[in-house]
């Protein structure tokens, strides 16, 4: 069955039309007005109904396909994916994730030191050996329980204050300094906790930890941050959605 959804467009809004359309459909899916397996209106009909050009309409639909909420099949049509949808992984910090989940994260800065980079760190940050970098180690907790141990390295020029790092996430602190993170590459693995990690995270030595190392880039393609995070396996996981295009 093809459901038609009433959509109001605000043509004078700075929000792109394709985005308004995509959001309206996303909301309809999340609210259950469009059900899993429902056939979607075809592009031409939708474009006509909304008084939009086909490319604009198409882009709106593609947005949701990329998010893993719709699937399209050439010659057949577009359908809503058959499963309750979670939020896709976004380029936000753990701090943001938790704040959104209402878990009230707290951060304690354990180490904060600026000095010449080791060869390894300089390589990861793509800086000349010996450049000044900030190393910060933080313990993130939520609900009174330790959650993650985070070690990050940044070019000294971008170093946020220690206060900022306790009050907000690293990315938020960078944003307020005009640094916009556009890209992150992550490597996710597992390891056994060493003695210090165990102590700080309130786990036993050799307890399984979920580890993530991340390199973040700004909108000029420069490396802004390199970090190693260790999460308590009992309290954290990553979600990813992969789309074949």
Partner DNA sequence: TAGTGGTCTAGACCACACA
Partner DNA sequence: GTGTGGTCTAGACCACTAC
CA 46 to chain centre: 31
Beta bridge partners of 177: none
Let me know: does 219 contact 180? Beta carbons within 8 Å.
Answer: yes
Contacts of 27 (CB under 8 A, 6+ apart): none
| Chosen from DNA, a copy of itself, none, partner binding at 49 (C-beta under 5 to 8 Å by type) | none
Contacts of 120 (CB under 8 A, 6+ apart): none
The reply to whether 26 sits near DNA by the rule CB under 7 A is no
Among 152, 210, 227, 229, binds a copy of itself (CB under 8 A): 210
Let me know: does 156 contact 134? Beta carbons within 8 Å.
Answer: yes
CB of 84 to DNA, least distance (A): 23
Could you give the CA distance from residue 124 to residue 228 in angstroms, rounded to a whole number?
11
Query: Which residue's CB is nearer to DNA, number 60 or number 159?
Result: 60
The reply to whether 15 sits near a copy of itself by the rule CB under 8 A is no
CB of 16 to DNA, least distance (A): 4
Query: Which residue's CB is nearer to a copy of itself, number 162 or number 192?
Result: 192
Among 139, 158, 184, 200, binds a copy of itself (CB under 8 A): 184
Contact positions toward DNA, by CB under 7 A? 14, 16-19, 40, 42-45, 51-56, 58-59, 72-78
């Amino acid at each position: 069955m093809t459901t038609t959804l009433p959509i109001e467009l605000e043509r004078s809004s700075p929000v792109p039309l394709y985005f308004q359309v995509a959001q309206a459909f996303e909301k309809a899916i999340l609210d259950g007005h469009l059900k899993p397996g429902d056939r979607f209106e075809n592009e031409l009909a939708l474009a006509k109904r909304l008084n939009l050009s086909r490319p604009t309409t198409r882009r709106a639909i593609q947005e949701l396909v990329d998010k893993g909420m719709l699937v399209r099949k050439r010659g057949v049509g577009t359908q809503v994916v058959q499963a309750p949808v979670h939020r896709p992984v976004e380029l936000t910090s753990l701090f943001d994730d938790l704040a959104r989940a209402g878990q009230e994260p707290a951060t304690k800065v354990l180490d904060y030191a600026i000095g010449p980079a080791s060869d390894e760190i300089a390589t990861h940050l793509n800086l000349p050996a010996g450049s000044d970098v900030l190393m910060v180690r933080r313990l993130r907790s939520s609900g009174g329980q330790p959650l993650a141990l985070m070690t990050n390295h940044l070019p000294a020029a971008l170093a946020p204050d220690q206060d900022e790092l306790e009050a907000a996430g690293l990315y938020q602190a960078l944003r307020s300094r005009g640094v916009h993170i556009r890209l992150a590459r992550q490597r996710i693995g597992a390891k056994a906790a060493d003695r210090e990690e165990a102590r700080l995270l309130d786990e036993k030595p050799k307890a399984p930890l979920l580890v993530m190392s991340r390199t973040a880039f700004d909108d000029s393609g420069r490396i802004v941050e390199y970090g190693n995070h260790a999460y308590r396996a009992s309290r954290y996981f990553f979600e990813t959605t992969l789309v074949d295009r």
